[in-house]
Amino acid sequence: MTNQIDSEAILKALANPVRREILQWLKQPEHYFPAQHVSVSHGVCAGQIDAKTGLSQSTVSNHLAVLQKSGLICCQKVGQWSFYQRNEAVIQQFLQSLQRDL
């Protein structure tokens, strides 16, 4: 049994170009975040995302929260650091639902 996705929350998250860009970066973290000192296997550090966007930390945190609430990304805390990565299962479910329903 698959979990139900929140298509409305996903569409809201995808409506913002910065959030779409973050998702694109997280698709290829080795390419977009080569300066990260730890392996990207657990995700990309929020500070790296902040630096790449050039936006304030609070603005980026808000974008990440919207993406996380929609289910498009997951967060893993390691000590004081938060690491983000795409939730490929939810992304695939959403794409399949679009293909099926539209």
Residue 77: CB atoms within 10 A of its CB come to 8
Between 37 and 20, whose confidence is greater? 20
Q: Tell me how far CA of residue 8 lies from CA of 4, 13, 84, 98, 100, in angstroms.
A: 12, 9, 21, 12, 16
pLDDT digits (tens, 9 = 90+) for 69-98: 999 999 999 889 999 999 999 999 999 999
Q: Tell me how far CA of residue 56 lies from CA of 27, 49, 53, in angstroms.
A: 22, 11, 8
The domain ranges of the chain are 7-101
pLDDT at 3: 62
pLDDT digits (tens, 9 = 90+) for 22-73: 999 999 999 999 887 777 788 999 999 999 999 999 999 999 999 999 999 9
Residues 46, 16: Cα–Cα separation, whole Å: 18
Question: Class of 7-101 per CATH?
Answer: mainly alpha
